[in-house]
Amino acid sequence: MKRNKTLYRLLILSGFILINAGILYGISQVIAYLNSGADRSKMLHIENDRTRSYIPEITWESLENSGRPIEAATQKAIEEDYLDAWYVKNNAFYTGDDVGIFDHYTASARTKIGDLLAVNKEQQTTIEATTIAHHLSLEFYSADGTLAVLTDRNVSGVERIFKNKEFVLERNFNDDYKLILLLEDGFWRIRHFEKIANTTHTPSYTPVSLDTALLEGINYYPQMSPWDTFGDKFSSDTLSKDFKIVKDLRLNSVRIFVGYEDFGKAHVSQHKLAKLTTLLDEAEKEGVKVIVTLFDFYGDYRLQDWTLTNAHLKSIVTSIKDHPALLAWDLKNEPDLDFDNRGEREVLSWLSHSINYLKELDPKHPITIGWSSPENALLLENKVDIVSYHYYRDLEDLASAHTILTNATSKPVVLQEFGMSSYRGLWNPFGNNKKDQAAYYTEFFKTQKRDSIDYLSWTLFDFGDIPNRVAGDLPWRKNKQACFGIIDNLGVKVDAYSIIKHR
């Protein structure tokens, strides 16, 4: 009985506390709800600067029209709203969700999109699409500035069709459209939209040959800023000094890395471009040619990202493509390592598209892809000008791996990365030391001389601190990665240096 009483007391007490907690929670939820809701600042459709995630190339081919001259601000507004219309439509076909369609299409056009979305939902089809380039002409702009008629020619792009989440088809398109836009509620909305022509545009491919008899080079990062060549420690003196070393080694080229994020993604920083030009200038002074590796640390590849990578590519390529020190473009370092995470088809599709675009921007310099293994080196062989691969295995098999490639392609084959880490220490007490490294190079040059292999070794310097994103944060990996150099952390030229020099 007494026990029961205590139990009841406990129950009543805890019940009371629980009920109170519940009430308090309820009240707080009501207050939170009343405080949430539409942001006053968003009531009006006032444009604020936003970073666009879709920036296809837009060319206005003509603004001549019989209606009235267009103001620059309106032209910009039309362009942005029209692109947004494409963006929301592509997005709707991808996700099946019609978010944003309301803002960019008039009522009757919305219905048409809605009907097709319903068809795709029923057929379990999803379409992933992006456009790459638009060529607009203004056909008519009304006197009161509320109606515009446009033609958009050669709208090039890519779409991937999935059915029940399974890939069905990837197709490129190149279409012409005519459209009528109305200014409603501050948006230029699509009233009419009609595809008037479709042509298949096959990019012209002319192979470019490599501009050196034998490519003999080294992969390069400054000693003090590994994987961050264009960072805060950038100095033309360092570069000048380092390229003198390269010259002293009697090498004719270096391979450098341009980070996608480092250079500002789609909006490439002029500051970084200036640094890149400085590097090329310094190389030019020493007569060293430069292979520029693009899209370093880029790993998205999604169709939705293509316009951004195009913008990035365009900024960099147009800025340095006429530099005399530029030898070749390496589109991407070891993209095959992303096959598992991003899907082989997706990665190859991006590479293939980006090569096309790069060819368009700069038809003069050869293009390569730095594949991580000889087995993958023949991927996109028909697209690249130079076949490149990386080789960190036993030197015994190098000759045969190289021969397989040279037999399979008529294009130059470059051993773009190879080398040996001389790290022996706490994390790897039985690793190779400087002597092993020297022996490695001696052996390499035997094969190289015999087979006339074009090569770039890894790398010039031992590095003090390796960023985590390069080799992860495990000390045995980092330390190994830090010791591939032929000049150690104290600036001493190790044995391998003289072997390369006196090869």
Residues of this chain that interact with another protein (CB under 8 A) are 67, 89, 93, 108-109, 112-113, 115-120, 123, 125, 127, 129, 139-140, 142-147, 149, 151, 159, 161, 163, 167-169, 171, 173, 175, 177-178, 180, 182, 191-198
Helix, strand, coil distribution of the chain in percent, nearest 5: 40, 25, 35
Among 356, 353, 355, 361, residue whose Cα is nearest residue 160: 353
Task: Please identify, using beta-carbon distances, which residue of 179 and 316 lies nearer to another protein.
Answer: 179
Task: Please identify, using beta-carbon distances, which residue of 195 and 233 lies nearer to another protein.
Answer: 195
Task: Please identify, using beta-carbon distances, which residue of 138 and 347 lies nearer to another protein.
Answer: 138
Among 130, 173, 183, residue whose Cα is nearest residue 153: 173
Q: What is the DSSP letter of 503?
A: -
Give dist(CA 245, CA 243) in Å, integer.
Answer: 5
- Rounded to a whole number of angstroms, the minimum distance from the CB of residue 318 to another protein is 32
CA atoms within 13 A on the CB side of 167: 9
Among 298, 224, 305, 218, residue whose Cα is nearest residue 253: 218
CB 148 within 8 A of CB 180: yes
CA 219 from centre of chain: 21
Encode burial over 311-339: b for 16+ CB neighbours within 10 A, e otherwise: bbbbbbbebbbebebbbbbbbbbbbbebb
3-state SS of 295-359 is EECCCCCCHHHHHHHHHHHHHHHHHHCCCCCEEEEEEEECHHHHHHHHCHHHHHHHHHHHHHHHH
Task: Please identify, using beta-carbon distances, which residue of 12 and 107 lies nearer to another protein.
Answer: 107
Distances from the Cα of 337 to the Cαs of 53, 119, 456, 467, in angstroms? 26, 38, 20, 18
- Rounded to a whole number of angstroms, the minimum distance from the CB of residue 100 to another protein is 15
Burial of residue 301 (number of CB atoms within 10 Å: 0-12, 13-18, 19+): buried
Residue 342, token pair as written in the block: 């991003």
CA atoms within 13 A on the CB side of 328: 29
- Rounded to a whole number of angstroms, the minimum distance from the CB of residue 106 to another protein is 10
Give dist(CA 72, CA 17) in Å, integer.
Answer: 66
Residue 105, token pair as written in the block: 């299409």
CB 106 within 8 A of CB 124: no
- Rounded to a whole number of angstroms, the minimum distance from the CB of residue 72 to another protein is 21
- Rounded to a whole number of angstroms, the minimum distance from the CB of residue 361 to another protein is 28
- Rounded to a whole number of angstroms, the minimum distance from the CB of residue 65 to another protein is 10
Task: Please identify, using beta-carbon distances, which residue of 161 and 208 lies nearer to another protein.
Answer: 161
With tokens 């390796």, the residue in question is 466
Task: Please identify, using beta-carbon distances, which residue of 168 and 214 lies nearer to another protein.
Answer: 168
Task: Please identify, using beta-carbon distances, which residue of 379 and 420 lies nearer to another protein.
Answer: 379
With tokens 């010791």, the residue in question is 483
Distances from the Cα of 173 to the Cαs of 127, 160, 341, 361, in angstroms? 14, 11, 27, 20
- Rounded to a whole number of angstroms, the minimum distance from the CB of residue 345 to another protein is 10
CB 450 within 8 A of CB 461: no
Residue 83, token pair as written in the block: 């692109």
- Rounded to a whole number of angstroms, the minimum distance from the CB of residue 430 to another protein is 49
With tokens 């010039």, the residue in question is 460
57: helix, strand or coil: strand
What H or E segment, with its residue span, contains residue 109?
helix 107-122
- Rounded to a whole number of angstroms, the minimum distance from the CB of residue 122 to another protein is 8
- Rounded to a whole number of angstroms, the minimum distance from the CB of residue 47 to another protein is 23
Among 328, 323, 351, residue whose Cα is nearest residue 339: 351
CB 438 within 8 A of CB 455: no
- Rounded to a whole number of angstroms, the minimum distance from the CB of residue 194 to another protein is 4
154: helix, strand or coil: strand
- Rounded to a whole number of angstroms, the minimum distance from the CB of residue 117 to another protein is 8
- Rounded to a whole number of angstroms, the minimum distance from the CB of residue 110 to another protein is 10
